Amino acid sequence: MNIFICTAYLLSQPKLTKVKHQNFCYMLISLKNVLDNIPNIKIKAFAKGKVAKQVFDVYKQKNSLVIESSMYMKKMKTVNNNTKKSKVIFVKIHKIHNLSI
């Protein structure tokens, strides 16, 4: 498993759902970029269980967070079911720490 630690901003309000007594939380985050000439990277992130509830409780838009997670890529078909496939990067959050700035 790959471990990915980063500083990120929450761009969208986390959506908390419950499936079979398990919490799931999905959101859009922006990774802080050190290089000046490249814009920030937007990634879809999700969490489950106690971490999902923690993300939902800590939410404030443009909030800085330190995220300990793992990354993976998923191939997705286009909306009109053409042969084109795009790759989407997802982040599964394991731990989250709020930065008070």
Domain 4-98 has CATH 1.10.3720.10: no
Report the pLDDT value the prediction gives residue 92, as an integer from 0 to 100. Answer: 85
Kindly report the pTM of this predicted structure. Answer: 0.68
Beta carbons of 58 and 51 less than 8 angstroms apart: no
Domain range annotation of the chain: 4-98
Tens digit of each residue's pLDDT (9 = 90 or more) over 43-69: 888 888 888 888 877 776 567 788 888
